[in-house]
Amino acid sequence: MVRLAGREYAIPAAAVRGMVALRGAEAGMMTIGADGQMLARVEGRVMPLVPVHQLLGLRTSPVGARSCLVLLAHPEGAILPSFAITADSISRIERIRKEDWRMDESQQWIAAQVKLGEKWRGVLEPGLLSRVPGCRAA
């Protein structure tokens, strides 16, 4: 579970390749390429930085003590991350029961909903996020 602008979203664990704290390191980790594409630089690798806050219509939060890059792979079988998103924080890791999962394609970047407690939360779909055209800086 990641927190974006005060809301929680799920990301399938099979797509997560790592998380990197941003506090104090953000200047060297997030850059803009010559073509205007947002990029993340992690351990010598450069990958697209998908503007997930913008895609979901959320305000972009300033980097805080719990902010991090979430490194994602698509397809899920890929060993190395293929892109990254910024998260305001990582809430927790949850095991979801089948009865607490439902398909929901009513939002462009959400593939399903998961129920945690009494609330349903959107599941960010790495396959859809990996196809964001350009990832251009605003």
With bands split at pLDDT 50, 70 and 90, how would you rate the model's confidence at 25? low
User: What is the pLDDT at residue 91?
Assistant: 87
pLDDT per position as a tens digit, 63-98: 888 999 999 998 888 899 999 999 999 988 888 999
Q: Is the pTM of this model over 0.95?
A: no
Q: Give me 27's structure tokens.
A: 């200047």
User: Mean pLDDT over residues 102-126, rounded?
Assistant: 92
> Rounded to whole angstroms, what are the CA distances from 32 to 15, 20, 50?
24, 18, 12
Q: Which residue has the tokens 């010598």?
A: 44
> E-assigned strands of 10-88?
16-21, 30-32, 38-42, 45-48, 68-72, 83-87
Q: Give the residue extent of every domain in the chain.
A: 2-129
Range from 20-24, 110-114, 134-138 that averages highest in pLDDT: 110-114
